[in-house]
Structure 1
């Protein structure tokens, strides 16, 4: 039975999470999680206050409400930041869980590929919806359009 060899305390260690030049990507991922978490709390509480507390509450949220809100670039950017930060934050968290619990390399690669694919599809489609949303499409019947189209 052999005794495990403990490396010298100041021995150079190479890690797979370091980029060339000694930049530790996991440290940046950890830091991003803290910063994005704080920003998400502010964005989400602002979103909830505007949508649920101010005005008539949840009963007022309909197609016209969203159309009126997204006619402002401010709310488009707000919702876009919330989407991107939440998706990056969540994807980074799930990536960490996959790295911690998926023991086989093939399983880890497959799960992370599916995760990144879901991330890209959700962010691309969400971004397209936010910036191409048209509450009053030309040529639509008047009885199908919300009241904001006639003001």
Structure 2
């Protein structure tokens, strides 16, 4: 007895040998592997500094700790790079899932646009917050601010 398996209906057929231009799916695949490795280093560095190398460990992490950390350009860039890569990595994964499982072109287009807009908004807002965060705003009531603000 012979079984015949029909050709599955993929949303995107395999790349033909005669096609010209950049292979965006391959670039996305490579980006996922590279960003994953960099994210592991960034996340474990973030956790090691906050939980192991800081005197007091987890109990020392409070508003003042975060405010002091975000006042340093090194940690601003570290956190922004981690944010950008995490959002781009996650949105690229969601894009892959949508391309694999959503077969109606209109719904696929709407979903991909929604993922792109959400990623852009999160990157813009996260970057703005990281670089403009001020734990000691001028004119604020000193009783509401962290203790290190009174020294300034």
TM-score range, shorter chain: 0.7 to 0.9
User: What residue number does 1:35 align with?
Assistant: 34
The count of corresponding residues between Structure 1 and Structure 2 is 136
For 2:136, what is the secondary structure of its paired residue?
coil
TM-score by length of 2: 0.84
Deviates more, 1:56-65 or 1:83-92: 56-65
For 2:79, what is the secondary structure of its paired residue?
helix
CA shift digits 1:54-79 (9 cap, x unpaired): 22222222111110001100000000
- Alpha carbon RMSD of aligned pairs, Å? 1.6
Equivalents in 1 of 2:146, 2:42: separation in Å?
27
User: What residue number does 2:110 align with?
Assistant: 110
Equivalents in 1 of 2:70, 2:110: separation in Å?
37
**Within-5 A mapping of 1:56-135:** 56-135=56-135
Q: For CA contacts below 8 A with separation 6 or more, give which structure has more relative contact order.
A: 2
Is the contact made by 1:87 and 1:123 (CA closer than 8 Å) also made in structure 2? yes
Equivalents in 1 of 2:32, 2:119: separation in Å?
16
Is the contact made by 1:98 and 1:111 (CA closer than 8 Å) also made in structure 2? yes
Q: CA deviation at 1:88?
A: 0.6
Is the contact made by 1:76 and 1:130 (CA closer than 8 Å) also made in structure 2? yes
Listed as ranges, the gaps of 5+ residues in structure 1 are: 5-10, 15-20
Listed as ranges, the gaps of 5+ residues in structure 2 are: 1-6, 8-15
CA shift digits 1:72-95 (9 cap, x unpaired): 000000000000000111111110
Equivalents in 1 of 2:26, 2:134: separation in Å?
41
